[in-house]
Structure 1
Amino acid sequence: MYKFLCYYSFILLLVCCQSQKTAHLGGIALSFDDRFVKEWIQLKPLLNKYNAKVTFYITQPDSLSEEEVQILHELRKDGHEIGCHGAMHVRSMYYIWDNSLEKYMENEIFHALRTMKKQGFLPKTFAHPGGSQTWYSDRELLKHFSLLRDVSMKYRNILGFDYIHNVENMEEIYHQRNHQQKVNALLIDVSAKLTIEDIRKGLQRASKEGSVMMLFGHKPLTKTTQNTHEYGFDVQFLEQILAESAKLNLKTYTMQEL
């Protein structure tokens, strides 16, 4: 009987360890902000090529055309998430200072949610416009969203001083599967000055430790447009990111799946 119990316990331990290992495979979570709907749909062949599921954070939903709403439904049907990015795209900290938390919630959040509900969307996650947030606004937001996404950048200029981070050491952009509800994603726009080597090191970390590397951008840009409009990411760079992720067998996640 004792030998049987020892054998049973050993098998159970192996199963638990294997289950834990399976549940913590590394991954990547991509999200795209604002209202570049007609440009986002052009990414469909690329996303399908790598079986990538991403999150589109919509701002000012009341200004979407019927065509754009239908495109978003098409993207959702493909397995992508439609998230909330606010009704006015205001920086919460400054708006609350000038007005109030109550007005912020009503004008920026509830108005957006009501509009999106009428359009057929029920967003579960929220991306802070401009990465602006406070603990007390987050406390209110988490009553209505399961996850809040903030912004991280490799380069930052603060009071005239440049700060450069090593991407693989930016703890906040790696989701550790610990039910964290406030997260950061790394900006991949052209202006962020990221290299594919930065991304490769980050993805290798995610693969090694079983975390999810979170990245985001805005408007998809081609070589002919990015010289005049840097508020977006190079589509070729996005494909490099997806290719590197595929090499490491990383799963892609929507933000809601985190």
Structure 2
Amino acid sequence: MKLHTSFFYVWLFLLTVTMVQCRKDSTKPLGPGILLTVDKPVDTWYYLKDFLKENNVKLTFYIEMYQDLQDTSKVKMKALMADGHEMAHHTSTHPHSDDYVKQYGIDAYMKKEIFAMTDSMKKDGFNPVTYAYPFGDCTTELDTRLLEHFNSLRKVLGTYMNKRIADMDQVYFRYGDIKLFYGIGIDVRYNRSLDEVFEALEKAKNSRQTVSLYCHYLSVDGKPHEGSDSHILEDDFKKIILKAKELGLRFYTASEVSRKKY
């Protein structure tokens, strides 16, 4: 009987330690970092594959319209994923989600925009576990439903906000286990200067937080993508990366900030 009692107390002790450790892990500060997400396919970004790898940069690509991608794009996705980049979910047709649900219902949205693309990606060896709302359009109902299938959801702050990034507390976070978070765009169209972005990175360092930024296409040699201003210049992007490294910021993926352990 004494032996059984001893085993019970040992088991109870180990259980308590495990629970405390799990609690500590879930609230463990991420440390100063940067979460860079891309809302377009990987093709224009593959050009920077070597640069990203050399600088230990990890991006999260929110993939849209996967069913329309060529095999060459999927090969690039796998090569980037092997370097530590994340392939995430951005819907099958990139609709305004709130309008879609109002017109067709949330079940239709989940079936066509979410499950169909997830199944296609999984068949090709991808496993999207994080999600970004197209246009940032979202509802509480969608949040609840999507979090049944994804570890985190990214929303966006309105580009009209008359604030500098460093003053947008919503795009900064300190702890792991993030389920809902915001990003702010740094494409050319958003008129964010390098000085403003550098200031945002410095705040991340000084406050020991992670800042969430997003962009779309990469403009190589200063050429806009198909006449679109939804792009970031290659030189500017590289300067942002090198500044983040200079400040000692860690590059996180969306999956990493939605996990409990780091």
TM-score, normalised via structure 2 length: 0.84
Which amino acid counterpart does residue 165 of structure 1 have in structure 2? K
Match of 2:181 in 1: 183
Distance across 2 between alignment mates of 1:151 and 1:220: 19
**Paired residue secondary structure (2:228):** coil
Query: 1:38 Cα deviation (Å)?
Result: 1.9
Query: 1:23 Cα deviation (Å)?
Result: 4.6
Query: 1:175 Cα deviation (Å)?
Result: 2.1
Query: 1:179 Cα deviation (Å)?
Result: 2.5
Match of 1:13 in 2: none
Query: 1:226 Cα deviation (Å)?
Result: 2.7
Match of 1:171 in 2: 169
Does residue 1:31 correspond to 2:29, yes or no? Answer: no
Which amino acid counterpart does residue 218 of structure 1 have in structure 2? H
Distance across 1 between alignment mates of 2:29 and 2:139: 32
Query: 1:34 Cα deviation (Å)?
Result: 2.4
Does residue 1:233 correspond to 2:232, yes or no? Answer: yes
Query: 1:130 Cα deviation (Å)?
Result: 0.7
Does residue 1:93 correspond to 2:92, yes or no? Answer: no
Which amino acid counterpart does residue 66 of structure 1 have in structure 2? D
Contact 2:200–2:211 (8 Å) recurs in 1? yes
Q: Deviations over 1:3-23 (max 9, x none)?
A: xxxxxxxxxxxxxxxx99x95
Gap change, CA 1:204 and 1:224, over 3 Å in 2: closer
Q: Deviations over 1:190-245 (max 9, x none)?
A: 00101111111111111112111111111101354239321211111111111111
Q: Which runs of 5+ in 1 are unaligned?
A: 1-18, 157-162
Query: 1:25 Cα deviation (Å)?
Result: 2.0
Structure-to-structure mapping, 1:1-258, within 5 angstroms: 23-35=29-41, 37-153=42-158, 155-156=159-160, 163-226=161-224, 228-258=227-257
Q: Deviations over 1:90-133 (max 9, x none)?
A: 11101011110111111101111111111111111001111111
Distance across 2 between alignment mates of 1:235 and 1:224: 7
**Paired residue secondary structure (1:98):** helix
Contact 2:222–2:234 (8 Å) recurs in 1? no
Distance across 1 between alignment mates of 2:176 and 2:46: 32
Contact 1:126–1:148 (8 Å) recurs in 2? yes
Distance across 2 between alignment mates of 1:121 and 1:178: 24
Which amino acid counterpart does residue 85 of structure 2 have in structure 1? H
TM-score, normalised via structure 1 length: 0.85
Q: Which structure carries more strand by proportion?
A: 1
Query: 1:183 Cα deviation (Å)?
Result: 0.6
RMSD: 1.9
Percent sequence identity over matched residues? 28
Distance across 2 between alignment mates of 1:146 and 1:24: 17
Gap change, CA 1:77 and 1:24, over 3 Å in 2: closer
Distance across 1 between alignment mates of 2:127 and 2:222: 36
Contact 1:190–1:226 (8 Å) recurs in 2? no
Distance across 1 between alignment mates of 2:185 and 2:31: 23
Q: Deviations over 1:118-176 (max 9, x none)?
A: 111111100111111101011000000000011125x41xxxxxx41121110111122
Distance across 2 between alignment mates of 1:165 and 1:218: 21
